[in-house]
Chain A
């Protein structure tokens, strides 16, 4: 165990831009290790978690990528050399600097002279915001419905779960398109549509976890002690259901970002000139034949972000799932 912790520290220090956040983790690990050596008590749950999580190199890479993206999104105004909607009329379709471009446009400019790098950095802010909002909405609604279904069972359970089954029968993108077609194309409606579409996963997970937990002795003890239904649901049972939900929430981020980009690409999500990665790609469609950089970078941003969240989700699942622990 100590051996493994030793391995993680240098790999964190080597990760340049993300070092800040990682350093705090490293300190945490080192600190706890010391405590462990002196007292011999079982490791703090967080240390235990980090031990399993850091065994998965892909997951650690994903985490660092996410830290970089979050930093870029938060500091977008500092990082981006131009405003996302600033049109430099003298620099239309300038290629990236290594392909013969000039003027300090790292990823080149688009057809109306907007700096692509700046738009991607501001797009990161938008994409993460979309992901956060979608996951928050569907997690909150999903936990609530799942708790109701798993705790009360009976007709409440049947009504909620059959409704979720119907939603699961239709592929998520198709359902999202259907909802946006009804509500009208806009970023807000796209967010709402994606949140509705991924809701069933959270409801099912919560319900399954609640049913498992509700039969355990500690819940019975709490019930006998006279805890109210609300207290049993939210205070006794819910804290023990978090692990699968955290994993699903991480994966929900990647689904949300990917679907939002797909809707933006189809013209059903964010509308121009919003610097959204998907709608940037849609704008670039007509320049496929002569300006590859307009197409390449927004898509790369989507891929890297989605991949990072998927990698981290896999790592979290391994670290949080007791069945996987050896």
Chain B
């Protein structure tokens, strides 16, 4: 019996053969079976991945919609109280232990005020069959009344927590990039032409200042996939991060191994896409080649 299982799992072969076989299968998308659930690792990953993507994208939306205007505002009002407070808040956000930040928000919004749910993706009274895996889309497609609002309620706190560090980074980057651009001759020309300040800042300056910011946003997406591990653990969000931590706790090595390999591949792919995108949005790079 023992020998049979050993043979089945390939444990009777020498180590280097086991490793070569693992690589051979991994290239074909077969990362082995989870020790706990006996399901293929890749299958588990794919069912949980949409939850993490949904959380990450919403967190990024939060970070960009607040961080970008804050950075612009700080740059335009350079040296004033506005600038100093934006920079102070962003440095605090950058230093924030997000697992603690999440707990504080739970205490304040969920326990004291009772306006948001403590954990999970959807209240138990709704049952939505996953079609896309994205809860916001699935609840919209379903007939259930109020399910979409409920899903949104569950998403707010985790998105804020996960978006805090990117927000700080984006605000700082936008500010320094805007400061640099605002010194340029073409901005002075635009001002001299008598364009409204809003147009000078919003069109002439911002479009040029955005180039480095977009790079930072892309690179932050990768970092956020790692930050999702902490956020998902706090909010019991059924995504990749919580699954990884649970797998480590259960010593489910194929899941840990495959999960980290897949997350790292996703991050490297995202970073590569950012590099390609950078060439597309910044024509100066293309011409120098």
Contacts and interface: CB of A to CB of B under 8 A. Distances in A.
Contacts, number: 102
A311 B245 CA distance: 32
A94 to B, nearest CB: 18
Contacts of B249: 267
A169 B271 contact: yes
Interface in A142-181: 169-174, 177-178, 180-181
B100 interface: yes
Contacts of A95: none
Contact of A169 (B95, B106, B233, B264): B264
A145 to B, nearest CB: 22
Interface string B247-266: 01100000010001001100
A58 B87 CA distance: 11
B267 interface: yes
Interface stretch (B120-128, B196-204, B224-232): B224-232
A288 B99 contact: no
B111 interface: yes
Given A169-B264, A268-B248, A285-B103, A177 B229 contact: yes
A266 B230 contact: yes
A306 to B, nearest CB: 4
Given A173-B226, A310-B94, A311-B91, A181 B248 contact: yes
- Overall SS of chain A's interface: helix
Nearest to B247: A181
Interface residues of A, number: 39
A171 B96 contact: no
A281 interface: yes
A311 B95 CA distance: 10
B107 interface: yes
Please tell me the size bucket of the interface on B: 20 to 34
Given A173-B226, A266-B229, A295-B107, A307 B95 contact: yes
Given A169-B264, A288-B106, A289-B111, A174 B225 contact: yes
Contact of A258 (B97, B106, B107, B245): B97
Interface stretch (A207-215, A218-226, A297-305): A297-305
A292 B107 contact: yes
A174 B260 contact: yes
B140 interface: no
B137 interface: no
A254 interface: yes
Contact of A295 (B103, B223, B233, B264): B103
A287 to B, nearest CB: 10
Q: Which of A58, A178, A278 has the most CB of B within 10 A?
A: A178
A128 to B, nearest CB: 16
Given A266-B233, A281-B103, A298-B100, 12 more contacts: A171-B226, A174-B226, A174-B229, A262-B99, A265-B97, A278-B99, A281-B99, A295-B103, A299-B99, A302-B100, A303-B100, A306-B97
Interface of B: 88, 91-92, 94-97, 99-101, 103-104, 106-107, 111, 222-223, 225-227, 229-230, 233, 244-245, 248-249, 256, 260, 263-264, 267-268, 271
Interface of A: 58, 169-174, 177-178, 180-181, 185, 254, 258, 261-262, 265-268, 278, 281, 284-285, 288-289, 292, 295-296, 298-300, 302-303, 306-307, 310-311, 314
